[in-house]
């Protein structure tokens, strides 16, 4: 293997390319899904920054039940979470049959949480 492939920059490039390819396949499968479930969770890191993660689960006729990481949440608030899903899917709100989230205000807040906005 060439030494140029052993650097951290090459590794990061490979990871981004793999992610892009897998996300493209996931989005193609999601567009065919009639129903989807969304799972959201967040955590605060040592720098006191909030991080959110989104998983999407759906049924594919060929693959069966598919659960996958979804989205790059740029802002860890309700609008940021919804924007992350919006960036990959059109008309997804009509397909959501289940939302799973912890009790954090960003997810379950009565007025401005993800659940309220959906």
Q: What's the mean per-residue pLDDT of the chain? A: 86
Domain count, the chain: 1
Q: Which domain holds residue 21?
A: 3-117
Give strand pairing partners of 69: 55
Using a 10 angstrom Cβ sphere, with 0-12 exposed, 13-18 middle and 19 or more buried, the burial of residue 83 is: middle
pTM recorded for the entire structure: 0.76
pLDDT in tens, 28-61: 898 889 999 999 888 777 777 777 888 999 999 9
């Amino acid at each position: 293997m060439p030494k140029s492939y052993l650097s951290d920059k090459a590794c990061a490039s490979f990871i981004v390319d793999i992610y892009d390819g897998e996300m493209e396949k996931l989005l193609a499968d999601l567009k065919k899904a009639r129903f989807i479930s969304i799972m959201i969770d967040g955590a605060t890191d040592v720098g006191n920054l909030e991080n959110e993660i989104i998983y999407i689960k759906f049924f594919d006729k060929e693959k069966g039940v598919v659960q996958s990481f979804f989205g790059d949440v740029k802002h860890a608030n309700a609008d940021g979470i919804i924007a992350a899903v919006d960036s990959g899917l059109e008309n997804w709100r009509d397909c959501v049959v289940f939302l799973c989230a912890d009790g954090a205000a960003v997810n379950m807040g009565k007025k401005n949480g993800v659940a309220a906005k959906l």
